[in-house]
Structure 1
Amino acid sequence: MSKHITPAQAAALIPDHAVVTVSSSSGLGCPDLMLRAIGEHFEATGHPRNLTTLHPIAAGDMSGIKGIDHIAKKGLLAKIIGGSYPSGPSSAESPLIWQMIGANEIPAYNVPSGILFDMHREAAAKRPGVITKIGLDTFVDPDRQGCAMNEAAQREPVVRKIEFAGEEWLYFPNIIPQVAIIRATTADEHGNLTYEHEGATLGGLDQALAARNNGGIVIAQVKRITKQGSLKPHDVRVPGMLVDYIIVDPEQKQTTQTVYDPAISGEIFRPLESFRVPEFNVQKVIARRVAQELEAGSCVNIGFGISANVPRILMEEGLHGSVTWVIEQGAVGGVPLLDFAFGCASNADAYMPSPYQFTYFQGGGFDASLLSFLEIGRDGSVNVSRLSFRPHVTAGAGGFVDITARAKKIVFSGMFNAGAKLGIEGGRLVIEKEGKLKKLVNETEHVTFSGSRAVAQGQDITYVTERCVMKLTSQGIMLTEIAPGVDLQAHILEQSEFPLIISPELKLMDAALFRDEPLGLTLPEKPQRILQEQIEGGDHG
C-alpha cells in the first residue's frame, strides 16, 4: 500500500488531544504545508482539537513560512512546549502564537532545545525522563520560572528539582508524542528519507523514534518521491520502517526566504570572495574584538547577533579555516550564514544531527562560544530570552542554555546600552548621544545564563562592547579595557546600574579595531589537550 497521501488526508489522521512533535528550525526544514493542512482541517471540521505540540527549535519564521502560526488557533492548540518561537518585527505584526501566549490562552513553555531532544530520546527508549544539571539557576530552574512563559504554564509544571546521588538536579518527566511531523527532501515508495537539499537534518530521526516506539505515527513532508530501491543506503537519514505517511510539497523552501541554494546543503562550495564582509561600523569593531579572543585550532560555537559576523572577520584577515565553527542546527565548519539564513552554513565540513550537536555542547566538548546579550546583571548573569516591553522580539532561548551550561569559555557581545548615537573618527569611538536604556542592570529580568554558577564552575567569561571589555570574576564584573575616546566615568561607570571593578591593569582597546583596514590579526595556537585534563572533570551530570 502506498504511503503517499494528501496533506488533508494526513491532517485527518491526527486525533484530538494528541501530542504532536514537529521538526523544524525557523524556516529551515519546516513542514509548513503539513502544518497549514492541520489548520485548514480544523477550520473545516473542528478537529483535531486540544493538541499539545513540541518544537525543539522554532517552527516558522513569519517571513513566508508561517509554521506554528498555521495551528495557533483557539480550540486547536491546547499547550505548546518549544525551544524557541517565531519572532515578529513589531507588536502590530506579532505572531499569532505570541498573541495566544500573551493572552494566557494556552500554557506555553520555553524548554532548552537540547533538553527537548533528550526528552525525545528518553521517550523512545521508554525511560522515565531527563535528569540534568543543564538550566540550574536559570529561568529553567523551578526556583525561578521553571520554563513557564505565562501564568497558565505556571499551573502545570514541566520540570522539578530533585536530589540524586547527593546532588541537586533538574528532572523533566517524559512527554510522549503520538504524532511526529518531520521533513526531508526525497522519500522512496517505502518511506526512506534523504536530506540532499536540506541545510541540516535537525532531529527528525529522534522525533520519529519517539512517536513510533510509543505506538504513534510519523508523517514526513518531502519535495519528491522516487522509486523504492533508488536511494543509496548511506544517504538515508530516516529509514522507511519509521515512516507511516508521506506528503509532497514540491514548493517547500529550503530555509527562510530561500527556495534552494546548493551551497547551503553542501552540494557545491562557494568561493570565499563571494561571502559579504561586514561594513565598517561600531558592530564590526565589536566583532573584531571578539575575534581577538580566539585560538587557532579551536572549535567555536556562534549565536545570532554581532558574533555571527566573527567568521567573516577571520575571512577578511586571511584566517578562514583556523577555527571550526559549530552551530546548534548541526553544521560543522564552513561559513555560518547571516540574517534570514542564520542556522545554515555554506561549505560545511559535515552535518551533525542536531541532538548529537547538543550532546557535544551540553558536555562542554567545544572550546568557546560567542553569544549576544540583552542584559548583564550585577552577578554576571545574562538575559537573552525575555524583555517584557518587547516580548515578540525575544524568541526564546533555543540552545543558549545547553551551550552555556558547561562551555569552557564564553564571549558575550553587544552594545553597552540601548539607543546611543555612536560614530568612529580617527581611530576613536565618538559617543554623540548617550543611550536611554541601561543594559548593565542590578538584576536581569530573565536569567538565561547564571553568572554565579559560572564563577563556581570556573568558566572563563568575557563581555565585549563598543566602549569596553569586561571579565567576570569571583568579586564581580571587572573592567579590563576601554575604547579610545571614551570617558571612563561618564560613558561607562555612570551608564551601569551597579559598580564595576576597575582592573589595576586597565588598558586601551587596540586602536586598530577602530580603523577601516585589516587588523593584521594573528591567533595563538590552541594548546594540545592531554588525557589528564579530560579525566579530572568532576561534574559528569
Structure 2
Amino acid sequence: MDCADLVNDGATIAVTGNGGGMLEPDAIFAALESRFLATGHPKNLTLIHALGIGDGKARGISRFAHKGMVGRVIGGHWSWSPQMQRLARDNDIEAFTLPSGVISLLLRESGAGRPGLITHVGLGTTYDPRETGGAANEAAKLAVPLSEIVVLGGNKYIRYLPIHPDFAIIRGTYCDQTGNISGAEEAGDLDVYSVALAAKNAGGQVLAQVRETRKAEACYARLVSVPGVLVDCVVKIADQPQTHFRNDQPSVAGLPHATAPIGEAFEGLTLPQGARAIIARRAADEIIDGQSVNFGFGIPGGIAAILESRGSIGKIWVTVEQGIHNGRLIDGPLFGAAINPQAIMRSTDQFDYYSGGGADIAFLGAGECDAAGNVNVSQLGGDVVGPGGFVDISQGAKQVVFCGTFETGGLRVAAAKQTLSIENYGRIPKFVDQVREVTFAGALAAATGKPVTYITERAVFQLTATGMELIEIAPGVDLQKDILDRMSFAPRVSENLTLMPAHCFVGDETCAKSSKSKALGATHV
C-alpha cells in the first residue's frame, strides 16, 4: 500500500479512532504492521492517540504493538491493546498517558501554532508535572517531560508542550477528487480534523482511509470533516465497515434512513445485570430532570439503560466524550456511539464543553479509592490503562458520581426481595490505603466544594473536607464484616447512616421507578 510506504523510521504518528471500530483506519494500520513484520521498517515510531482504538485482539493500536516498531506511545486509553500494555509493562517503550481531551486539544493547539495547551485539566493528579507528568513506566520517567507548570493571573496551570507529528492517519466515509474527506456515515467525527491539522501544519503528511470516492457535487460541503488541502494520500477500502460489528447502520451516523432492528445490529443494548445493575440503579437516583449528564465507560455505561427502563432518559441531556448528544447509547465494546443521536460533535468541541463546566453531573468508573477520596483508573493490576476522558470530565463537572464494585476478582452477589446477598468476596480490594495513581484528586475537589459520591453494590460514600464518609449500606449486609473489615482504611461513618434504597435490590428482571425532578429552564425538543 503506497500510504504505508511513506512512513519513515523514527516518525511521529498521530491517529484517530475509538473502541468498537469507530473511525478506525485499520487498513492503513495493517499495512504498516505487515511492512514492519516483513522488513523491520518503519521502526522506533512515536504513536499518539487520544481515545482507545482496537478490539482487544489484533486491530487498532495492536497493529503497532511489536517490539522495535514503536519507541514511545502517548495514549489516552490503552485497554483495547493488551499487547501494547505488555510492551509498557516490560519497559520496551516509553509509555505516557494523558487525558484524552488534553491530547486532542493539544493537537489542535499545536496545529494552530499556539504554544501548546494551557489548562487546569490534570492539576493535582498524576498528570501534573510536579507528579509523574503522565510518565506511566520507568522508561518514560527517564524521558523529556511533556508538560510544565505556568502561572497566569496568579493561578497555576499546566502547559502541555506542543506536539508536531510527521504523519496523521485518519478515516472518513468517502472523499471527492480533490481529497475532501467526509465522515457522513461514520459513528462520530472524534478529533479527525485536529489530528490532520497538527501533522499538516508541522510540515507532515496526512494519510486518509475511505470507503469510496464520489464526485464533488455528491460530497456535500457541509459534510466535509477534513478539507482536501490537508490531505496527501487517500486509500480506498471498498469493504470498510462502519464499526467492528460490520452491520452498517445509518441510525448510528445520525442519518434518517430505515435500519435493521437494533437487537440484530449491536450488542450491549440490554439492561445491566448483577452488581452492575445494583450500582446503576442507585446511581440513577442521583440524577435530576433537566440536567446535562455524562456517562463514562464501564459500569456507568449501564445507567442509561436503567433510565430508559424507567422512562426517564428523555428528561435529561446525555453526552459522552466522543461527541454524541442524546440518542440510545450503546454500551460495551462500542461505547461512545448511539442509535439515533440528536447531535454528533467533534470530540474536541465536546471536551471544551466539559472543561468549561458544561456537565451538571458525571458518572465515572472507579478502580481504586483511598481515604482522601482519591480515585485511580489509569494504572491497574500492573497495566497501563490510561484515563480516557476521565480527568477532563471529572475536573470540569459540577458534580461527580464514581461507580464501581466494592472489590473485584471473583466477587459474586445476588439481589432479591430488596436485599443483597454476598455469595463470594472479591480477592482484590478497591478501598486501599493509597491509590497507585491519582487520576482524581479528592483534596482538590473537597477544597472547591464539589459534590462527590462513591457508589458500590453494598455501600455508598461521600467526600467531605476530611475525606471519605460512609452514608449508606445495602440491606442484608453486615456493616463491620462486609464493609469496614474489608477496607484498608477506616472511613468516617455518618451519624445518619441509612440503607440504600430497596428498589436497587429487586433482582435483574425488574427496574423500579425512582427519580428526582426539577423544572427545566428551557424545553428540550
Specify the SS of the correspondent of 1:343: coil
Specify the SS of the correspondent of 1:480: strand
How many Å apart are 1:257 and its aligned residue?
3.3
Matched, 1:40 2:27: no
Change (3 A) 1:269 1:322: farther
Paired position in structure 2 for 1:491: 482
How many Å apart are 1:164 and its aligned residue?
3.3
Paired position in structure 2 for 1:148: 135
Change (3 A) 1:47 1:421: closer
Task: Give the Cα–Cα distance (whole angstroms) in 1 for the partners of residues 331 and 259 of structure 2.
Answer: 15
Paired position in structure 2 for 1:536: none
Change (3 A) 1:421 1:49: closer
Specify the SS of the correspondent of 2:373: coil
Change (3 A) 1:318 1:31: same
Paired position in structure 1 for 2:122: 135
Given that 1:87 and 1:395 are in contact with CA atoms closer than 8 Å, whether structure 2 keeps it comes out as: no
Given that 2:274 and 2:413 are in contact with CA atoms closer than 8 Å, whether structure 1 keeps it comes out as: no
What TM-score, normalized to structure 2? 0.93
Partner AA of 1:164 in structure 2: L
How many Å apart are 1:368 and its aligned residue?
0.7
401, 411, 418: which one aligns with 2:401: 411
Paired position in structure 1 for 2:417: 426
Given that 2:14 and 2:47 are in contact with CA atoms closer than 8 Å, whether structure 1 keeps it comes out as: yes
Given that 1:300 and 1:366 are in contact with CA atoms closer than 8 Å, whether structure 2 keeps it comes out as: yes
Task: Give the Cα–Cα distance (whole angstroms) in 1 for the partners of residues 29 and 515 of structure 2.
Answer: 48
Residue by residue over 1:342-395, the C-alpha shift from the partner in whole angstroms, topping out at 9 and shown as x without a partner, is 111111100010111011111111111111111111100111111244x2xx63
Specify the SS of the correspondent of 1:221: strand
Task: Give the Cα–Cα distance (whole angstroms) in 2 for the partners of residues 272 and 349 of structure 1.
Answer: 19
Paired position in structure 1 for 2:59: 66
Task: Give the Cα–Cα distance (whole angstroms) in 2 for the partners of residues 272 and 514 of structure 1.
Answer: 31
Specify the SS of the correspondent of 1:462: strand
195, 202, 207: which one aligns with 1:219: 207
Matched, 1:201 2:201: no
Specify the SS of the correspondent of 2:496: strand
Task: Give the Cα–Cα distance (whole angstroms) in 1 for the partners of residues 354 and 35 of structure 2.
Answer: 39
Specify the SS of the correspondent of 1:309: helix
Task: Give the Cα–Cα distance (whole angstroms) in 2 for the partners of residues 411 and 438 of structure 1.
Answer: 20
What TM-score, normalized to structure 1? 0.90
Paired position in structure 1 for 2:438: 447
Task: Give the Cα–Cα distance (whole angstroms) in 1 for the partners of residues 248 and 79 of structure 2.
Answer: 21
Task: Give the Cα–Cα distance (whole angstroms) in 2 for the partners of residues 518 and 424 of structure 1.
Answer: 12
Specify the SS of the correspondent of 2:321: coil
Q: CA RMSD in A?
A: 2.1
How many Å apart are 1:319 and its aligned residue?
1.4
Q: How does 1:339-378 map to 2 (within 5 A)?
A: 339-378=332-371
Paired position in structure 2 for 1:115: 102
Residue correspondences, number: 512
29, 41, 44: which one aligns with 2:23: 29
Change (3 A) 1:282 1:58: closer
Change (3 A) 1:269 1:75: same
Change (3 A) 1:247 1:482: same
Partner AA of 1:290 in structure 2: A
Q: How does 1:34-433 map to 2 (within 5 A)?
A: 34-63=28-57, 66-87=59-80, 94-95=82-83, 97-156=84-143, 157-267=145-255, 268=257, 276-278=269-271, 281-389=274-382, 391=383, 395-418=385-408, 419-433=410-424
How many Å apart are 1:461 and its aligned residue?
0.3
Task: Give the Cα–Cα distance (whole angstroms) in 2 for the partners of residues 125 and 221 of structure 1.
Answer: 24
Partner AA of 2:93 in structure 1: I
Q: Identify unmatched segments of 5+ residues in structure 2.
A: none
Residue by residue over 1:231-252, the C-alpha shift from the partner in whole angstroms, topping out at 9 and shown as x without a partner, is 1111112111211110011222
Change (3 A) 1:433 1:327: same
Partner AA of 2:183 in structure 1: Y
How many Å apart are 1:167 and its aligned residue?
2.4
Q: Identify unmatched segments of 5+ residues in structure 1.
A: 1-7, 89-93, 530-541
Higher alpha-carbon deviation: 229-238 or 512-521: 512-521
Higher alpha-carbon deviation: 184-193 or 9-18: 9-18
Task: Give the Cα–Cα distance (whole angstroms) in 1 for the partners of residues 271 and 218 of structure 2.
Answer: 44
How many Å apart are 1:143 and its aligned residue?
2.8
Given that 1:269 and 1:346 are in contact with CA atoms closer than 8 Å, whether structure 2 keeps it comes out as: no
Percent of aligned positions that are identical? 37
How many Å apart are 1:272 and its aligned residue?
10
Given that 1:30 and 1:183 are in contact with CA atoms closer than 8 Å, whether structure 2 keeps it comes out as: yes
Specify the SS of the correspondent of 2:277: helix
